[in-house]
Chains A and B, each alone.
Chain A
Amino acid sequence: MSEKVLMKGNEAIAEAAIRAGCRHFFGYPITPQTEVAAYMARRMPKVDGLYLQAESEIAAINMVLGASAAGVRAMTSSSSPGIALKSEGLSYLAGCDLPALVVNVQRGGPGLGGIQPSQSDYFQATRGAGHGDFHLLVLAPNSIQEMVDLTYLAFELADRYRVTAMLLADGILGQMMEPVSLPDPAAADLPPKDWAVTGTGGKRLHNIVNSLYLKPEDLEATNLARYEKYAVIQRREARHEAFLLDDADIVVAAYGASARIAKNAILAARAEGIRAGLLRPVTLWPFPKAAFAQAAKTARAFVTVEMSMGQMIEDVELSVRCAKPVTLCSRVGGMVPAPEQILESIRQAAGGAK
C-alpha cells in the first residue's frame, strides 16, 4: 500500500508497527494515545498478532521485556504519567540490551497534569528514562508520514543496536489526520538474535537475559561496552531537518508539533526581512550536535520553541557551547505556541521588535 491514505497519527504508528513485523503489543489505556491501543486491538487478531491489555504500565513494559527477550518485535505505547511507570522496565531493557519500541504521546504535567499536548517529557526521554547509566534512542516525528517512517526506523535501529527506541510524539500529532503512504519497510540486514531465550533446543548452552552483575568490575565493563555502542549510535544515527538554514541569522530549534508551527513563523520573519531558519532534531537522542555546532558558526542567535518550560534548550546550549545566545519561546500545560509568539521571539533575537 504505497498510495496515500488519510490517517490519524496514533493509528499510523500502530499500522506502521504491524507492517514493521511487530505482532506483540502490550498496553494500558491513557489519553491521548488510546487510539494506538484501540487500533492494535482491532488489527492484531486479523494478522495473527497479539493485543494484550496489561493491568498497569509496569506490567505492560515487563511483558514487552519478556517478548523481546524471546526474540520478537514488541512494543507498548502510553502517555506521560504512564511512561513514568515504565521507568523501571526501561532501565531493565537497557541493562539486558533488549530492543523494543515505546511510544510516548506526551501530555501536560507534572502529576496528572492534563490531557492536552505537551513536550515536557524531553528530559524524561533523553536523560531520565530510568535509573542507571543508559540511553533510549529517541525519535521525534513532526508529521503523520514521519510517524510511519520513524516507526519503521525505530524497530530497525532497536534490533541493529539492541537498544530500546522511543517514539516521542505529542497530543497534536497523535490526533492529527494527514495523508500518508505505508510502503512495506525496506528489508534490513540485521544481526541474528542468537541471544534470545527460545529454549535451547538441545543445541546450545542456555541463554541468559540478565542485568545483574554483582562484581563491580563486571558491571563497569558492561556499562563501558554499552557506551561504546552509544558512541557508534551518536556518530551514525543523529538525524535532523534543515529548513532555510543555509543563510539563517536566527536559527529556530524545534521538534515535533512545535517545529510545524515554527515553520510558519520563519516564513513570516523572512517576509519581514529577517533571515530565519529551522534546525529540527529528528533524533533527540542522539542529539544532532554537529548540525547545531555548524549552524553556530554563522548564525547570530538561536531560539528554541518548545511546549515545555525549557528542556531541549539545554541540548541546544550544549551543542553550540554557549557561543551564541539561545532564548526560549514556550507555552506549557497543554497550551500551544502561536506563530505570532514565535515570530516575536525571532524578532527579539534578531535585535529587537520591529
Chain B
Amino acid sequence: MQTVFEKTPGLTDAVLHYCPGCTHGIIHRLVAEVYTELGVSDRTIGVAPVGCAVMAYDYFNCDVVQAAHGRAPAVATGIKRARPDTVVFTYQGDGDLAAIGTAETIHAAARGENITVIFVNNAIYGMTGGQMAPTTMPGQITQTSPYGRDPAVAGYPLRMCELLATVDGAAYLERVSADSVKNIRAAKQAIRRAFECQLAGRGFALVEVLSTCPTNWGLEPVKALDWLRENMIPYYPLGVYKDSARDGKEAAQ
C-alpha cells in the first residue's frame, strides 16, 4: 500500500484545539513540514504568541518558548543571539504582531534579526472572542466594532508587509493566503523561503498568511474562505514584498 499523506513528524501527536475550519491548523502543518523537510527540526526553536496559537508549544515538535503578548520577536532575538546556530521562528497573530507588539516587530526587522516570523492575519482577535484587530477591515463587524469598523473613529487597518518593506533590515517579506489548495501550496513555498533566508544568514524574514476565523467572523468555514478571498485579498494583495536574494541578484545584473 502506498502512503499518500502522512502527518509530519514536525508536529506532535497532540490534538489541535482550533475550531473546525480554522486555518491555524493548516499553517501549523506547513511550518512543521518546512523545518522537517529542511532537516533542521532538531535545532529549531519556536516562539509561541499570546493568541489562539498560544498552545503551539504542545503542537510543534521542537523546543518552544511561550512569549508574552506581542513580545515574541524580542524573545526570539534573545534566543537567536544566545544560540546563533539554532533556527528560530515566531508564530504570531495580528493583534500580537501588529498592535501590542508593533515595536518589537519593526525593530526586530530593523536590526535585521536573523529569525523567521510567521504572521497569521485573520483580521480579528480570535482568542479573546472576536474583538477588532489592527487588521480588521473597514466596515467589518466585530465585538468591539459592532456597527462595523469606522475609520473615522477606529482608524485604518495596517498592511504590515508594505510597512516592513521600507525597513532595510528586512530580507524577505511575502504575503500569502490559506484559502485554497493552490494558495496553500504557495504559502508553503513562501514559508520555506523564509526559513532558507535564515539558514543563509540573510536577516529578518516574515510571511504573512491571510487566515480565517470562522467562529468569530460568524461564518461557516467555506463561507469564511469566500469572505477572505472577497474582502481581505483585495485589501492585502498577495505577493513578495521584499526578497534581498532576488533584489540583490537583480541589482547585480
Contacts and interface: CB of A to CB of B under 8 A. Distances in A.
Given A69-B79, A200-B42, A206 B63 contact: yes
Interface stretch (A12-20, A209-217, A227-235, A265-273): A209-217
Contacts of B81: 24, 50, 52, 63, 66-67
B78 A68 contact: yes
A199 interface: yes
Interface residues of B, number: 39
Contacts of B55: 212
Contact of B71 (A58, A68, A206, A211): A58
Contacts of A55: 103-104, 106-107
A346 interface: no
Q: B60, B62, B65 — which one has the most chain A CB atoms within 10 A of its CB?
A: B65
Contacts of A88: 68, 71
B66 A210 contact: yes
Nearest to B60: A206
Interface in A73-92: 74, 88-89, 92
A63 B65 contact: no
Interface string A187-210: 000000000011111110011111
A62 B68 contact: yes
Contacts of B48: 210
Contacts of B57: 208, 210
A193 to B, nearest CB: 11
Nearest to B42: A202
Interface string B53-78: 01101101111111110010011111
Contacts of A201: 42-43
A26 to B, nearest CB: 7
A213 B55 CA distance: 10
Interface string A312-323: 000000000000
Nearest to A54: B74
Interface in B69-98: 71, 74-83, 85-87
B45 interface: yes
A205 to B, nearest CB: 9
A24 B82 contact: yes
B68 A66 contact: no
A71 interface: yes
Contacts of A202: 42
Contacts of B67: 62, 65-66, 92
A96 B71 CA distance: 15
Contacts of A199: 42-45, 62-63, 83, 85-87
Contacts of B45: 70, 197-199
Nearest to B74: A62
A268 B183 CA distance: 82
Contacts of B64: 197, 206-210
Contacts of A63: 74-75, 77-78, 81
Contact of B107 (A59, A65, A96, A207): A59
Nearest to B72: A62
B79 A66 contact: yes
A328 B80 CA distance: 48
A52 B43 CA distance: 23
Nearest to B111: A52
A69 B65 CA distance: 7
A56 interface: yes
Interface string B40-52: 0111110110000
B36 to A, nearest CB: 12
B63 A66 contact: no
B39 to A, nearest CB: 10
B68 A52 contact: no
A62 B55 CA distance: 19
Q: Which 6 A-B pairs have the closest CB atoms?
A: A66-B78, A199-B43, A62-B74, A197-B63, A67-B78, A66-B75
Interface of B: 12, 41-45, 47-48, 54-55, 57-58, 60-68, 71, 74-83, 85-87, 103-104, 106-107
Interface of A: 24, 26, 50, 52, 54-56, 58-60, 62-72, 74, 88-89, 92, 96, 197-203, 206-212
30 contacts: A24-B81, A24-B82, A26-B78, A52-B81, A55-B104, A59-B107, A63-B74, A63-B75, A63-B77, A65-B75, A66-B82, A68-B78, A69-B78, A70-B78, A88-B71, A89-B71, A197-B45, A199-B43, A199-B83, A199-B87, A201-B43, A202-B42, A203-B42, A206-B64, A207-B63, A208-B63, A208-B64, A209-B66, A212-B55, A212-B66
Given A50-B81, A65-B75, A200-B41, 12 more contacts: A52-B77, A60-B74, A65-B65, A66-B74, A70-B78, A89-B68, A198-B45, A199-B42, A200-B63, A201-B42, A201-B43, A207-B64
